[in-house]
Amino acid sequence: MADVKLISLSKKFGGIYAVDHINMDIPDGKIIVFLGPSGCGKTTTLKMIAGLNTPTEGDILFNGRSIINIPAEKRNIGMVFQRYLLFPHMNVAQNVGFGLKVRNTDPIKIKEKVEEALKIVHLSGFERKFSTQLSGGEQQRVAIARALVINTSLLLMDEPLANLDTKLRTEMRSFILSLQRRLKITTIFVTHDQSEAITLADKIAIMFNGKIIQFDEPKTLFNHPISPEVADFLGATNILKGIVKSCQKNKCLIESELGETEVGQSIDFENGREVFFTIRPEHININSDKESKAKNTYVGKIKEVVYEGGSVRYYLNFGKSIVQVYDRSNKVLSREKYVSIYFDPEKVWIFPKNRKIM
């Protein structure tokens, strides 16, 4: 197993930082997810850890020891790519055992380890099949077995679910999570899919433009994003402007685009300061009854309705502001109808000072 530490890790391409002085502690036995848009530096970081890219600056420590000068094949790292890269002329057993073969492992030992690895990924009996005879999920599990068979102390996964359909992706998320929990292998997982990251991660590193913007547990990221950029990327589409009216302990009043908004947190902004705040669409209750005197209740007009099967997404007009509401209900309200919405003050999140909107 491995504790991994990144120290001011950087990579330049043509004078431009693809990864810009990132620092991170990755505890032994945890799943850490790098999450961000394409081109933000996620895969480049993964490749530096794997030894496939040489850092321009900084260091990488495994259990307190620098591995910068250790070649990739000696780092004891297993890696699963977006494309599984199975050898089409080899059967499953030969693919899984390839890493052991190049390490000159005894053939009897290879057979034992391959059987053990295939049992772990629930593919016992598939030894003689070829990749063309396997489904996408089965190919992925072969790739995972190949990474595990060398007794890896660190597992790196680069968008491994990207080529699977929605149903299979969901199944494989559960499989990877249960496998990691059982084996307790330190795992670094790269994705641009927010739901995938939240499902899998012990902690998530949000990356933009080569920098780690926020590194937190999924629940903290989801409810308490550090900036409008992070909130927007994680689907908090309701990012509104307001002006601080007053603050007391654990309660603030903001004059917002909706009206007066009560916030269940204390902030260090002075009265009269313009702020941004967010309320997630799924944290808003919608009601066709417009009569309510509860705090954070507002009346608006439904401009758009999107039926999504077991839920409905509404776009409501409040003057110049559009607010999204995600309602898990079979009841569908009609367009142009006036309705009231309500949200809990504890669910409202204000951004710290000096954070700008995108």
Which of the four pLDDT bands, split at 50, 70 and 90, describes residue 289? low
CATH tag, 4-232: 3.40.50.300
Q: Are 72 and 51 in contact (CB under 8 A)?
A: yes
Which of the four pLDDT bands, split at 50, 70 and 90, describes residue 255? very high
Which of the four pLDDT bands, split at 50, 70 and 90, describes residue 292? low
Distance of CA 204 to the CA centre of its chain: 6
First vs last C-alpha separation in the chain: 40
Which of the four pLDDT bands, split at 50, 70 and 90, describes residue 355? low
The confidence score (pLDDT) of residue 152 equals: 84
State the pTM of this model: 0.85
Instruction: Summarize pLDDT for 155-203 with one digit per residue, the tens.
Output: 999 988 887 788 888 888 888 898 888 888 999 999 999 989 999 999 9
Which of the four pLDDT bands, split at 50, 70 and 90, describes residue 357? very low
pLDDT at 92 over 80: yes
Which of the four pLDDT bands, split at 50, 70 and 90, describes residue 274? confident
pLDDT at 354 over 70: no
Q: Give the strand pairing for 57-62 and 4-13.
A: antiparallel
- Domain segments of the chain as ranges: 4-232, 233-350
Written as one string, the DSSP assignment of 150-193 is: T--SEEEEESTTTTS-HHHHHHHHHHHHHHHHHHT-EEEEEES-
Which of the four pLDDT bands, split at 50, 70 and 90, describes residue 290? low
14-28, 51-65, 113-127: the lowest-pLDDT one: 113-127
From CA 208, how far away is CA 164, in angstroms rounded? 25
- Compute the Cα dihedral for 100, 101, 102, 106 and give only its sign: positive
Alpha carbon distances (Å) from 40 to 47, 59, 85, 162, 236: 14, 20, 24, 17, 20
Residue among 164, 20, 170, 1 nearest 80 (CA): 164
- Compute the Cα dihedral for 226, 227, 233, 235 and give only its sign: positive
Do 233-350 and 4-232 fall under one CATH topology? Answer: no
The confidence score (pLDDT) of residue 167 equals: 84
**Percentage of residues of the chain with pLDDT beyond 90:** 46
Instruction: Select the CATH number that applies to the domain covering 233-350 from these four: 3.40.50.300, 2.40.50.140, 1.20.1270.10, 3.20.20.70.
Output: 2.40.50.140
- Mutual orientation of helices 92-102 and 136-148 as an angle, nearest 10°? 20
Mean pLDDT of the chain: 88
84-109 average pLDDT score: 88
Q: Are 306 and 313 in contact (CB under 8 A)?
A: yes
